Structure 1
Amino acid sequence: MDNCIFCKIISGEIPSSKVYEDDKVLAFLDISQATKGHTLVIPKEHVRNILEMSAETAETVFSRVPKIARAVQKATGAIGMNILNNNEEVAGQTVFHAHIHLVPRYGADDGIHMGFDEHEPDFAALANLADSIAKEVTE
């Protein structure tokens, strides 16, 4: 895509701090650095997000994530890592080229706060929702 910043990084039109590259995947440091070592893993093929990604592209990209994540963790000394992906604007996606965030974690005071509200589950509603989703899953 002509206006895609990640496509411009892939082509070398825009510089990046690369940490990994092969013929299908590129990983580079995010310029925002939510924490030290914050890395983006992207397919070289332009695809909007995971919701539009083929199984082949997903297999290629996600098969590289553990190796890159371990390298980031080792190089930074992080004690944990969030591996995140946002799909569409409502979910926080701001660059519409699929990418996975590797966010190293250093402790509870590293500036990243994630959590979920605990509540009593409605198991019947969960079962109904699971059935609806399962019916939509196709190969």
Structure 2
Amino acid sequence: MTKTIFEKIADREIPSNIVYEDEVCIAFTDAFPLSKGHTLVIPRKPVPDIYDLDDETGAHIMKVVSKVANAIKDAFGPAGLNVVQNNGEYASQTVFHLHFHLIPRYEDEYDGFSYNWKQNPDERTDEQKKEIEEAIKNRLDV
């Protein structure tokens, strides 16, 4: 099986600008950054997407995402920061190794990043909303 570019980075087979690493994950600046400080956080082991992420690795990665986000904030003082994580080709995932983009946002600086997010009122009936709620709840393993 062919390694993804992120596996190659984690294995030091290709160069990258690593800002953090431990036994579970690694963080490095994006090779094609949208803004100063744009960083990726990935698990070391190959995990294709969030659907295959185990609880322990997920909890650890979120701690690292927060730690790296705060380091970016302290280093560059952005006005905001987006955390973006895509799953599946239809959701714009291009590297099939779980990764979180930390994209600092600066006032008066166009970075080319935007969401095309249109909030529409939910016109479902209360019964339909309840069915959706129950469908999700019934599949949670809690």
In the alignment, the residues of structure 2 paired with residue 11 and residue 76 of structure 1 have an alpha-carbon distance, to the nearest angstrom, of 29
Partner letter of residue 132 of structure 1?
Answer: A
State the TM-score, normalizing by the size of structure 1: 0.91
| Counterpart for residue 119 of structure 1 | 120
- Unaligned runs of 5+ residues in structure 1 are none
Partner letter of residue 28 of structure 1?
Answer: F
In the alignment, the residues of structure 2 paired with residue 100 and residue 108 of structure 1 have an alpha-carbon distance, to the nearest angstrom, of 25
Deviation of residue 119 (structure 1)?
Answer: 2.6
| Counterpart for residue 28 of structure 1 | 28
| Counterpart for residue 61 of structure 1 | 61
The aligned length equals 139
- Give the secondary structure class of the aligned counterpart of 1:16: coil
Deviations 1:11-63 (A, max 9, x none): 11100011111111100011110111110000111111111111111111112
Identity %: 38
Deviations 1:52-110 (A, max 9, x none): 11111111111211111010122122111000100111111111111101010113652
Does residue 138 (structure 1) correspond to residue 141 (structure 2)? The answer is: yes
CA 108–133 in structure 1, closer or farther in 2 if over 3 Å, else same: farther
Partner letter of residue 140 of structure 2?
Answer: V
- Give the secondary structure class of the aligned counterpart of 1:136: coil
State the TM-score, normalizing by the size of structure 2: 0.89
- Unaligned runs of 5+ residues in structure 2 are none
Deviation of residue 118 (structure 1)?
Answer: 2.9
RMSD: 1.6
